[in-house]
Each structure stands twice: as structure tokens, then as C-alpha cells.
Amino acid sequence: MIIGLTGKNGSGKGEVANFLQAAGFTYYSLSDVLREELKKRGKEITRQNLTDFANELRQQKGAGCLGLLTAAKLKPDGNYVIDSIRHPSEVEALKQTPNFYLLAVDADPQTRFERIKLRSREKDTVTYEAFVEQEAKEAAGKKPTDQQLNRTLEMADARIENNGTLEELHQKVRQIIQTVAIDIKRPDWDDYFMQIARQVALRSNCIKRKVAALLVKDQRIISTGYNGTPRGIKNCNEGGCPRCHKIGTSGANLESCLCSHAEENSIVQSAYHGVNIKGATLYTTFSPCLGCTKMIINSGIKEVVYNHAYNLEEISSKLLKEAGIIIRQL
């Protein structure tokens, strides 16, 4: 879950971020990049300097650059809260990441002004008139790459009015997070197992192609395999397979290849460990070759799910269908 925060100065975004951090969310702020660079340049960290530098960066690297820089830090298995989103292109950049939700935090102008006076951060404006004037500039910049806070607020998936107590704010955040959690997109079983297969493929030592296969029964992985030279033989990438080491044409001279295929290894590993695979589903990153197809049929596997099509996919597919085995491309 990735919660993006946008809102005007003093609205309470920082309090929402603190609350979510305490709940286990990892915190990022688009302004952190700006603060770090201003320190390097020896410039004072004021709200005006932050705004000017952000506009400068957007002109140089694109309006969504701060969003892209932050999105690159996110891992798919984490929960994050991202503060200081002030441009529609930053929202669009972050929305490329699954499960991103933009939350707008707002409060009455006078309430916000009183809050920023109390916090005295980054030389905030000290008069209400100056506060209102600066806010108007930040709400809608003159250039497309300038800060566009009003347009950003309009893109929010949810909005919080924060004119009450801190506990009232926290309760509103709880309700939104509980609602958002229901809509979190999880991979279905096919995607789940194929993503694991792609990770298994990284163990392959073959220098021609990295392939992996999983055997699954009752939604449980019972065996894995990846392509490479047999157990105890020098690895393919170390010269163990002369055919692969020559970097020849793909699909040619297969009879001289010493590497075992991923599907073959997953089946053999099951036999090695005494695991029954009858009725299992095989997930493989490439459709099986003819040799592996015959092993699949004779081992009692009921279904094959593959990602990419191999050169001999047509022959193998025909044979699998004739044997009554379900075959699907994911």
C-alpha cells in the first residue's frame, strides 16, 4: 500500500505521515531530494527556496521527475507514505506503481496559519497576509512545470478535512486505510507462481537462456527446477556445456547440449526427493521442448502454464493436447 499525501501548507500532512510511520509505513518525502541538494549548494532551506528549486528541477528533468525518483526507491512488498506531492505529473509518475492512493489533507486557512506559526519551520511566513499571498502562488504556477497544488488536490482518491483534534485526524486516517486495504490488488495464483518461477530462473547457470519451472499441487509448490548442467558437472557459464559456450544459433545442435532443462529438473528433483507429482500443474517461463513434453506426459502432470513460447512450441503443444493435458500461455 502506497499512500501519497498532498495538501496546502499547515494542513496536517506531516501528522498523517507520522501516524502512518508509527503504524509501520516507510516514509518518503519528495522534498527530501530538494533539501539535500540545497544543503550541498549551501543555500538556506526556506519554503521559497524549496519551491524555486523544485520548479527548476521540473523544467530540467520533466514535471514528474520527483515522483519518478521516489518511485524508484519503492519495493513491491512494502507499505509507504509519500509526502510533499505538489504537481499532477508527480501523481501520474507514482500511479505507475500498483496500489498507489493519493490522499488530500485540508483545513481552513486561518487554522493552517496558526499551525505554521507554532511549528516555525523553514522560515515559514509570519503574517497572515504573506501566508495567503504565498499560498496563492503555490496553488497554480504560471509555467506548466511550476508547482500546481490546486490541480494536484483535484486528483486525490480521498480527502480529509483536518480542522479538529489530532485524535479525530487519526480516526479519519484509520477509516481511509481500512477502506483502501479492501481494494489492494494481489497477484492471482497464476501470476504468483510465475513470478516465483522468474526468481528461480535467476539461479540458472546457462549462458544461453535462463529458464525455470515449478510444480504446484493444491496451490503449494512441491518442486522447482532451472536449466543448467547436471549435478556435479562444471557449470554452463564456466564452460561445462561446450554447445552453450560456443554461443551458437538458438535451437541448433541441441543434441550436443549438456544442460538439463528446467522442466526436466523439476520432475527429476521430485523423483530424487520422493515427491508424488501426479496431477500437478507445471509453471514454466518458456513452453516445453519436445523432450520435456514427453517427460511431462509420462509423469502424470495434468496442466502446463507457460510464459514465453519456445521455438518448438507448436509440436509440443499438439502432443500435450493429444495426451489430454491442459496447456495455457500466461
The H or E element containing residue 328 is strand 326-329
Q: What is the mean pLDDT of residues 223-248?
A: 84
Averaged pLDDT score across all residues of the chain: 90
**What angle do the packed helices 109-119 and 128-139 form, to 10 degrees?**
110
DSSP-assigned beta bridge partners for residue 159:
104
The reported pLDDT for the residue numbered 20 is 97
Instruction: Decide which of 122 and 29 is more confident.
Output: 29
* 263 included as an active-site residue: yes
Which of 88-102, 129-143, 283-297 has the least mean pLDDT? 129-143
212-217 and 220-226 beta bridge pairing: antiparallel
CA distances from 276 to 76, 240, 280, 323 (A): 33, 31, 9, 20
Of the chain, the percentage scoring pLDDT greater than 90 comes to 60
Tell me the chain's radius of gyration from C-alpha atoms.
28
Residue with the larger pLDDT of the pair 281 and 56: 281
Going by pLDDT thresholds of 50, 70 and 90, the confidence category of residue 8 is very high
Cα-flanking dihedrals φ and ψ of residue 163, to 5°? -110, 0
Three cell numbers written together for 139: 496553488
User: Nearest Cα to 203, choosing from 194, 193, 213?
Assistant: 213
DSSP letter string, 105-159: EE--HHHHHHHHHHH--TT---SHHHHHHHHHHHHS-SSTTS--HHHHHHT-SEE
Q: How confident is the model at residue 107 (pLDDT cuts 50, 70, 90)?
A: very high
Per-residue pLDDT of 51-82, as tens digits, reads: 888 888 888 888 899 999 899 999 988 999 99
Please give the pLDDT value at position 253: 63
- Position with higher pLDDT, 103 vs 61: 103
Q: Tell me what pLDDT residue 135 has.
A: 83
Q: Which residues are CB-contacts of 278 (< 8 A; sequence separation ≥ 6)?
A: 299, 300, 301
Q: Is the pLDDT reported for residue 255 higher than 70?
A: no
What is residue 143's predicted lDDT score, i.e. its pLDDT? 81
Higher pLDDT among residues 187 and 136, named by residue = 187
**Of the listed 56, 135, 138, 263, which one is catalytic?**
263
Residue range 95-102: mean pLDDT, rounded = 94
Q: pLDDT higher for 122 or 134?
A: 134
**What pLDDT shows up at residue 136?**
83
Q: What is the pLDDT of residue 272?
A: 93
User: In whole angstroms, what is the distance from residue 257 CA to residue 242 CA?
Assistant: 7
Asked whether residue 266 carries a pLDDT value surpassing 70, the answer given is yes
Q: Could you tell me the pTM of the whole model?
A: 0.76
Confidence band for 152, pLDDT divided at 50, 70 and 90: very high
Q: What is the pLDDT of residue 59?
A: 87
Residues 6+ apart with CB under 8 A from 19: 169, 170, 173
CB count in 10 Å sphere of residue 44 = 10
Helix (H) or strand (E) holding 4: strand 2-7
Give the pLDDT score at 85.
94
205 pLDDT above the threshold of 60 = yes
**Residue 55 and residue 60: Cα distance in Å, rounded?**
9
When pLDDT is averaged across residues 133-160 and rounded to a whole number, the result is: 86
Cα 250 to chain centroid distance, Å, stands at: 32
Residue 122 has pLDDT above 80, yes or no: no
| Dihedrals phi, psi of 226, to nearest 5 degrees | -135, 160
Is the pLDDT confidence value at 38 over 90? no
Cβ neighbour number for residue 213 with a 10 Å cutoff = 30
According to the model, what pLDDT value does residue 74 have? 93
CA distance 27 to 106: 20
Window from 14-23, 129-138, 274-283 with minimum mean pLDDT: 129-138
Q: What is the mean pLDDT of residues 237-265?
A: 77
